[in-house]
Amino acid sequence: MTETCCCPTEAGNTVCELPSPTIQRPTRVTNTCPGCGQIGKPVQGQTVKALLAMSLREVHDGDYLFCRTPTCPVVYFTPDGAQTFTTEQVRERVYQKEPDVDDVFVCYCFRHTVGEIRFMPQTNRATLLDDIDAGIQAGQCACDLRNPQGSCCLGNVRELMKRLQWTETAITH
């Protein structure tokens, strides 16, 4: 870019070269979600491909991360943030995005919902955990493909049960 300026005239020049202004963009940290800025959890490409409700021609080969932030619409993203997929683009509703919605699955392999566990008598919750564990031991789970986070759902089920127990205890006291 050339601009007329007040530079001293050298060898008859009345125009001097000024550098083009540079645009300052905030530095994006690798592996952080482009939607919320939180660090993503690595997830296998096969999980992403299995859960997207779109042509796989649009999916780049490579590494993907899972965004756990409930208020962020991004579910999957590449480490550089160049490609993202939102809740609107996945086949399943995502527990981490809607942890309090009754009809959202918390266990994708054995199809247990938040509401089922919420309204289950507390004494039956241990039986449910035993049932899920037995299914896992029998090789009947496929969390790496069915669960949007790409890993075992059992931790999510236990966390939900703890949260519900804490809430129930707080209400009764």
pLDDT in tens, 22-34: 555 456 678 999 9
- Does position 48 have pLDDT exceeding 50, yes or no? yes
- pLDDT band at residue 4 under the 50/70/90 scheme: very low
- The per-residue pLDDT for 82 is 92
- Does position 50 have pLDDT exceeding 60, yes or no? yes
- The per-residue pLDDT for 108 is 97
C-alpha to C-alpha distance for 18 and 66, rounded to whole angstroms: 44
Domain with CATH 2.20.25.270 in the chain: 28-91
Assigned token pair, 100: 């309090």
- Does position 62 have pLDDT exceeding 60, yes or no? yes
pLDDT tens column, 135-157: 999 999 999 999 999 999 999 99
Q: Residue 92 class from Cβ within 10 Å (0-12 exposed, 13-18 middle, 19+ buried)? A: middle
Give the mean pLDDT of 43-71.
96
Name the residue among 114, 97, 89, 72 with its Cα closest to residue 149.
97
C-alpha to C-alpha distance for 35 and 137, rounded to whole angstroms: 37
C-alpha to C-alpha distance for 73 and 35, rounded to whole angstroms: 7
pLDDT tens column, 98-133: 999 999 999 999 999 999 999 999 889 999 999 999
What is the pLDDT of the chain when averaged over all its residues? 87
**63 and 31 Cβ atoms separated by less than 8 Å:** no
> What CATH architecture applies to the domain 28-91?
Single Sheet (2.20)
